[in-house]
Amino acid sequence: MNCSNINIVFNTCAKIDRSLRQKLSSIWYKSYVLGDRTRYFHSSRTICQTQKDDVEVLLSPQEVTVILRKNEFNKDFSHGSVKSYDSNQLQSNDPIEDTRCEAQCKMTPGLLMGVFDGHGGPACAQVVSKRLFKYIAAALLPQELLENYIKQEPRELLIDTFNDRAEIVQDLKFIYDKSFNEYLSKLSNTAKDEIDVKVCLEKSIMHLDEDLSREVVEPFKENGNVNHKTLSVALSGAVACVSYIDGPHLYIANVGDCNAVVGTMTEDNEWVARKITKEHNTENFDELKRIWNEHPDEERKTVIRRDRLLGELAPLRSLGDCRYKWKAEILSEVAVPLIGQKAIPANYYTPPYLTAKPDVYYHRLTPKDKFLIIASDGLWDMMTPLQSVKLVGEHMKGKVFFNPLQLPKKNIQLGDINELLLHRKESLKSKPKDRNAATHLIRHAIGGTEYGIDHSRLAHLLSLSSDVSRMFRDDMTVTIVYFDSEFLRQCPA
């Protein structure tokens, strides 16, 4: 393991609390407004040029837009309860530690959408986003289909991913294929009368997490070898929020502190935010009680310290993070020789301290449910669920103006066309800047003030180098899934 990997694996403790980050963000902004910008302003010269007199030049609105739209993705669907989705990511860490994945199950119906927020480096989040949906899709196969699938040579695709730009390196691919085959035979040996989606989601997440650990420990026990790649995946961590949508059925599996929110329109045309998930962090008292109950009373003061698990980890559930799961002997044998004694957290007496067990929620979609927002804490640090729902709601109304004017009927009178054009001209004032609603949310999360978007705030926050930027904001990943109200209206109750 090289030095950069060691740093990547152990930068968890440096992650700054969200309240502090918000405070820093406003202090920094005030400092800048007051003219004291030397303290925090260390902009990257590649983005923010310095003139001869050393006055910083703001990014132009066009440059800001290029940065904000760099990772946009959207897709339309021709049938089913999901009409389309918009997604985007904005990095703060370098490399970005958030990942995302969206896919259609191929052998069964259903769409999977996930946001994964890594810590201690991007390795675990990247691997989880590449592997998890296959585990889920396999678990959702009825017994007969599963048996057929296992026998196929070559096998058809279990999922069709939409925005998959990364490839796993070949040696890891070999290890992961072996684990997946073992997982398939375990699935086929566990007789199931019918598919319970909640159970499938939970088991596949737990199973993948066990595989991340086993892929390090098993070869070590067999021949004393430690694969540094699988180790860096197992020692870094990721929280995950995954939705599975099949017709009117919405399931959300959540591990950690991402969140999923449904935007619903009431009878009175008011937007309501239905927060589906509950974060696994120290603000969730049920989680604190769970952890205290799982360890002896003597550890009550050490198991949660400074609002973190063992004083180190902010999310109280996650995938990977084997430093909080393995026995101390395994850590001493596998991790300490490479990364030193700090591999074992202080007060590490009764592991495991951490689980990847998700909370799985079910919501029956109605025609009033217009969209689902899944996002990493980078977004939720900056805005409430209701603010985000209202912004997406307004965006929905305004985005019709991105399309060219369509005349409602043939043989329309000139006077009517004139009226239509006047109305459109007036309404164009509410046309959003970004067609992609995820970008719209990110733009408001960073540049939003009570008077609207503040360009200079946006420009400055986007100019910061990553080591400074991560003090003010986290990586942000946002996926917005739009539902087809007409389809949902016709779904039998």
Nearest Cα neighbor of 117 from 305, 279, 359 is 279
- To Mg ion, the closest distance from the beta carbon of 438 in angstroms equals 16
Comparison of 117 and 312: residue with beta carbon closer to Mg ion: 117
Total number of residues binding Mg ion (CB under 5 A)? Answer: 5
C-beta closer to Mg ion: residue 258 or 322 = 258
Nearer to Mg ion among residue 114 and residue 398 (C-beta): 114
Q: Closest CB to Mg ion among 98 and 102?
A: 98
Give least dist CB 18 to Mg ion, A: 9
Question: Which distant-in-sequence residues (6+ apart) come within 8 Å of 461 by Cβ?
Answer: 25, 446, 447, 469, 472, 473
DSSP-assigned beta bridge partners for residue 330: none
Residue 312 binding Mg ion, by CB under 5 A:
no
17 or 164: CB nearest Mg ion = 17
Nearest one of 75, 74, 64, 115 to 444, comparing CA atoms: 64
The CA-CA-CA angle for residues 366, 250, 73, to 5°, reads 100
Smallest distance from Mg ion to CB 92, Å: 9
Locate tokens 């109605």: which residue?
A: 366
Q: Does residue 464 contact residue 37 with C-beta atoms inside 8 Å?
A: no
| Stretch 107-146 residues interacting with Mg ion (CB under 5 A) | 117
Q: How far is the CB of 296 from Mg ion (least distance, A)?
A: 31
Report DSSP letters for 378-418, one per residue: HHHTT--HHHHHHHHHHHHHHGGGGSPP--SSSS--HHHHH
Q: Give the x-and-dash track for 70-109 against Mg ion (CB under 5 A).
A: ----------------------------------------
Q: Smallest distance from the beta carbon of 380 to Mg ion, in angstroms?
A: 9
User: Whose Cβ is closer to Mg ion: residue 264's or residue 469's?
Assistant: 469
H helices present in 304-368, as ranges:
328-330, 336-339
Whole-angstrom distance between the N-terminal and C-terminal Cα of the chain?
A: 56
**Residue 43: CB minimum distance to Mg ion, A:** 23
Which residue's CB is nearer to Mg ion, number 365 or number 476? 476
Smallest distance, Mg ion to C-beta of residue 377, A: 4
Provide CB contacts within 8 A for 103, sequence distance 6+: 111, 112, 133, 137, 159, 160, 161, 162
Pairing, β 98-105 against β 73-76: unpaired
Binding mask 353-392 for Mg ion (x = CB under 5 A): -----------------------xxx--------------
Strands 249-255 and 359-364: antiparallel
Measured from the CB atom, the residue of 264 and 376 that comes closer to Mg ion is 376
Smaller CB separation from Mg ion, 21 or 370: 21
Q: Encoding tokens for residue 45?
A: 């010269």
Q: Cα separations (Å) of 351 from 77, 281, 326, 327?
A: 46, 18, 7, 6
The residues in 469-488 that bind Mg ion, with binding defined as CB under 5 A, are 474
Q: What's the closest the beta carbon of residue 374 comes to Mg ion, in angstroms?
A: 13
Single-letter amino acid, residue 251: Y
| Shortest Å, Cβ 190 to Mg ion | 34
Contact residues for Mg ion, defined by CB under 5 A: 117, 376-378, 474
